[in-house]
A and B are shown apart, each in its own frame.
Chain A
Amino acid sequence: MGVEGIGASVVRKEDRRFITGKGRYVDDIKLQGMTHAHFVRSPHAHAKVKGIDSSAALKMPGVVAVLTGQQIVDDKVGNLICGWAIHSKDGTPMKMGAWPAMAPETVRFVGQAVAVVIAETKNQAKDAAEAVVVDYEELPAASDIRAAIAPGAPQLHPEAPGNVVYDWEIGDKNATNEAFSKAANVVTLELTNNRLVPNAMEPRAAIGDYNDAEEHFTLYTTSQNPHVARLVLSAFYNIAPEHKLRVIAPDVGGGFGSKIFIYPEEMVALWASKKVNRPVKWTGDRTEAFLTDAHGRDHLTKAELAFDKDNKILGLRVSTHANFGAYMSLFSSSVPTYLYATLLSGQYNIPAIYAEVMGVYTNTSPVDAYRGAGRPEASFVIERLMETSARQLKVDPAELRRKNFVTVFPHQTPVIMAYDIGDFNASLDAALKTIDYAGFPARQAKAKSEGKLRGIGFSCYIEACGIAPSKAVGSLGAGVGLWESAEVRVNPVGTIEILTGSHSHGQGHETTFSQLIAERLGVPISQVQIIHGDTDKVQFGMGTYGSRSLAVGGSAIIKAMEKVEAKAKKIAAHALEASEDDIVIENGEFKVTGTDKSIALPMVALAAYTAHNLPDGMEPGLKESAFYDPSNFTFPAGTYICELEVDPGTGKTSFVNFVAADDFGRLINPMIVEGQVHGGLTQGIGQALLEGAVYDSTGQLVTASFMDYAMPRADDVPSYKLQHTTTLCPGNPLGVKGCGEAGAIGASAAVINAITNAIGNNKLEMPATPDRVWHAIHGQA
C-alpha cells in the first residue's frame, strides 16, 4: 500500500473547508429572487381542521402566498409513503392511514403542518404565519403505546382499527414454547426502549427552485440519499418527473437516519416553488426538529430466556410493542421487524426464537430509523437478559456469554440472519484485558470505602450492516433494491473522479474512498476527487445509512476500478509492446514485470482520450461504472465493557472506564473508524443516561428543546479505549463490515448493566437519570 492507502490514518481531505468556515450547507445557499417559507403547525396532538383563514396573513408585508393542505390535495400531490410492506401474523398487509404533506382535514401530532406562508424574508413569513387563523376542533389523543391500545382509546386512522398497524411474528413458536417447557431456568425481563430525538446539529432545510422555461425543478436538501428523494418525489408524490428534477444534497450536518426520509417540508418547498414561480427556502429551527424529525426507538418489550441446567440457552421469547407515531414514515415498518427481531439471537447459539411485534399508532411525531435502527433495541434486549441471567444464575457474566457464543461460521440463526464470520471470544478477551477485569473486585472495594458504588457492565453486540442484498430485502417486503453504484473517471491528465451514490454527512467518504484508489493505483489522494450528493452528476445511488457506504458503495467503486484497470492495462501493454498479463500497477505507473519498462498513469489516460494509438477495436476514453449488490449482510460485532461509579447521595453516574473492542473487518482509515465509534458510543450513552423524548398525556412534547431534552455534552462522557479485532468479511471484495452504528447499538446495554451492577437493583429504566438511579437505590420515598 502507499502511505495513503488502505490502513492509513490519513487526515481528511474535506476538513479544510469545514475548519475555515467554507462548508456549504443548504441554509448557506442563496438564490436570486429567493422567498422564505414558514409553516403553520398544529398546537394540538389530535384535532379536526375545520377551516383556515389566510386573509389577514395575505395582507401582511412581504407575503407572497399562503398555501394549505387542500391545495396540495387539489394539485394531486401524493401522500407520504412507507416503502416496506409488512404482513401481520394472519397474512393481512399492514394497515395504514393517509399522510398528506399538509393536513387538509385532521392533524394527528403536535407540529404537523396545516399551511405554509411564503414571504420575502424569513421574519415576514414568521410574522404572517401567526396571522393565519386555523379553526381546530380538538379530539382526544393517545400519546403513548399503552394509551393507544387501551380499550376505548381514541382512534387515529379509520384504516387501522385499535390503532394497530400490524401484529407480526418471526421464528418458530412451537419449538420455542417446547424449549421453555424443558428449561431448568427461565429469566424474564420487562424493558422500555426510550424514545429518542436524532438531533443532527444541522436542522433540516430545503430550497425548491422551479425553472418555468425548462419546466425543471431543483431541490437543495439536507438528505442522506438524494437519489431516493428524487425517486420518491417523482414516482410517488408526482411533484416532478424524474428527468425534470435535480436533487442536490450539499454538505449535510449530520443525519443519523433522520435525513433519509423525504419529509413534508421538502415536498412543500419544491411544490411551492412552482406555485409562486420563485425559489422557496425553508430552514427548520430546533423546535421544528424536535417536533417533526422522525424520532427513534420507543419500544415496550417483555423478553424471556430459557436455560438448561448447564446454563446453555435453549430458547428466547420476545413480545414487543413499537410506537410508530401518527403516521408511517418511509422505512418505519421495517425497523421493529426485519431490522430488530432478526438480530435477537445476538452473539449466541439460540436453538429456538420466537418474537412478535405489534406496531401501534399514537398521536406523536412519526418514528423511523435512528442510528442503529432496530439493532440497538435488539441488542439491548438480549444483553440486558444475559446480564440479568448471569446475576440470577450466579455465574460470571463474561463466562455465561462465552459459554453460549457462536463459534462456528457460517451460522444460521432461527431468525433469518446467517452470520458469515466472526470471533466473539477475541473481542471479549481484548475488552476484558483492556479494562483489567481481574482487578475489578479490588477497585470496587476501594470505591466502596470512599462511599461510591462501582459497577461493571458488559454488552456483546452484533449487528447486520452493509444494507443490503436486494433480492433478500425484496422478498421481505422492501420497495427498493439496496445495491450501490459507482463511476470511475480517469481524466485525460490522469486525475481521477469517483462518482458515488452514497452520501457523506460527516463520515469522511472523500478521504476513505480516495484511499481505495490510492491503494490500487499508488497515486496520492490529492489526485482523486469524490463526487456525491447531486443527481445530475451521479447517475443513481441508494445513499448512506445502515453502515453501508464502504461495504456496498466502496465495493461498487472497486468493481468499477477493476474495469478501469483492465482497460488501462490493455492500453499500457499496447504502448509498451508487452503482454497485458505482465502489466502491474505501482506508484501510479503501469510496469512490465521484471523489466524497467513503464508508462505513467497520465500517459495511459492521455492515450485513452487521444485515441491515436489504441488496441484494435477499443473504444476511446477511460471511464467505467459498476453496480454492486451485496450477497449478504455484514456482521460487525464486539464487546463493550463499562466501568462506572454511582454517587449514592445524588444518583449521579460517572464513568471510570469505557472499553470498546470491535471487529469491523478490514479498516481503511482507522482514525475515521474510531471517530465513528466515539460518536456512536456517545449516542448510546446518551440513550442510557440522558436522552428521552417525553409526551404528556395530551400529546404535548415536554422535551421540545435542549432546555429539557438532555443531549450528551463533553463532560457527560469519558474518553474511550478502543480495541480492534479482525475477521475479514468474506462477502465483499474489501473485507469490510461497516462501523457507523456499532457504538450506538452496543453502548446502552453496557451502561445499564454497569449501573444496575453498582446499585444492586436490576430494575432501572432508560434514561437512567440521577433521579431514577437515586430512587432505584433508596426506593420511592
Chain B
Amino acid sequence: MSTIKLTVNGRAVSADVEDRTLLVHLLRDHLNLTGTHVGCDTSQCGACVVHVDGRAVKSCTMLVGEANGANVTTIEGISKGEELHPMQAAFRDNHGLQCGYCTPGMIMSAIDIVNRHGGNLDEDTVRHELEGNICRCTGYHNIVKSVLDAAGRMKVSAAAE
C-alpha cells in the first residue's frame, strides 16, 4: 500500500491504494471518474487514454506510483462547465461516436494529436495517429471527420484566448 497524491482535473487528490493499482483503476474505482474505460488487457485499444502531464497515455499501462505527483486530465475534466471542449463538440456534430465506449479515449488521444500537429493535419495523418485507439462502431469515418473539424475549431479558440 502507498499513499498516492496527484492532481486530477485540477483537483488535488490523495488515495491509499495497493502498489499494483493501475491509474485507470484509481480513476474509476477510487475517484469515481468512470468516463475512462477499459477495453483490453494488452494495452492496445486506447479506451483508457488520459492526459498525464499533458501527454496522452494509456492509463491501463501506468502504475499509480508512476503517476504520483502528476497532473492528470480525464474526459470529465476537459469541458469548461457547460461549454464543451471543441473536440467534444466536433465529435457530437460529426457523429463521431455511436456506443460511446471508445469515445473518451478517442477524444483524449485526438486532443493530443491536434496539440502536436496544430493545423497541419490531413486525413492520412489523423488515421495514422489514431492507430492506438480501436472503435468497433463508427468505422472511423466520422471520427476522422471530427478530428479534422476540431483541429480548425481548436485553432480558432486558441487564437481567441
Contacts and interface: CB of A to CB of B under 8 A. Distances in A.
Contact of B140 (A20, A682, A706, A743): A682
B20 A508 contact: no
A706 B142 contact: no
B95 interface: yes
A200 B45 CA distance: 11
B141 A678 contact: yes
A506 B88 contact: no
Interface in A278-314: 285-287
A620 interface: no
A777 B112 CA distance: 41
B134 A720 contact: no
B58 interface: no
Chain A's interface size range is 35 or more
A715 B135 CA distance: 12
Contacts of A253: 37, 99-102
Contacts of B75: 19-21
Contact of B45 (A15, A678, A679, A706): A706
B42 A714 contact: no
Given A706-B40, A719-B141, A21 B127 contact: no
B26 interface: no
Interface string A645-681: 0000000000000000000000000011011011111
Interface of B: 18, 20, 28, 33-42, 44-45, 47, 74-76, 79, 84, 88, 91-93, 95, 97-104, 107, 123-124, 126-128, 130-131, 133-144
A679 B98 contact: yes
A90 interface: no
B84 A20 contact: yes
A201 B35 contact: no
Contacts of A717: 139-141
A200 B95 contact: no
A22 B144 CA distance: 23
Contact of B79 (A17, A20, A256, A285): A20
A711 B102 CA distance: 14
A471 to B, nearest CB: 33
B103 A19 contact: yes
Nearest to A256: B136
A672 B95 contact: yes
Nearest to A253: B101
A705 B40 contact: yes
Interface in A731-759: 743
Given A20-B76, A714-B131, A200 B136 contact: yes
B98 A705 contact: no
Contacts of B37: 25, 201-202, 253
A775 B42 CA distance: 30
A337 to B, nearest CB: 27
**SS class, residues of chain A in contact with chain B:** loop
Interface of A: 11-12, 14-25, 27-28, 123, 199-203, 251-254, 256, 285-287, 505-508, 671-672, 674-675, 677-683, 705-707, 711-715, 717, 719-720, 743
A707 B42 contact: yes
Specify which of B88, B99, B101, B138 lies most central, judged by the most chain A CB atoms within 10 Å of its CB.
Answer: B99
B101 A21 contact: no
Given A15-B97, A715-B127, A201 B139 contact: no
Nearest to A23: B100
B88 A20 contact: yes
A286 B41 contact: yes
Contacts of A681: 139
Given A254-B101, A505-B99, A681-B139, 20 more contacts: A19-B92, A19-B104, A19-B107, A21-B36, A22-B35, A23-B35, A25-B34, A28-B28, A201-B45, A201-B102, A201-B136, A202-B39, A251-B99, A253-B101, A286-B39, A679-B139, A680-B139, A707-B44, A715-B127, A743-B139
B75 to A, nearest CB: 4
Contact of A714 (B36, B99, B101, B130): B130
A713 B139 contact: no
Contact of B98 (A22, A28, A508, A743): A508
B40 to A, nearest CB: 4
A675 B98 contact: yes
A671 B101 contact: no
Contacts of B84: 19-20
B99 A201 contact: yes
A711 B136 contact: yes
A507 B138 CA distance: 10
Contacts of A719: 123, 141, 144
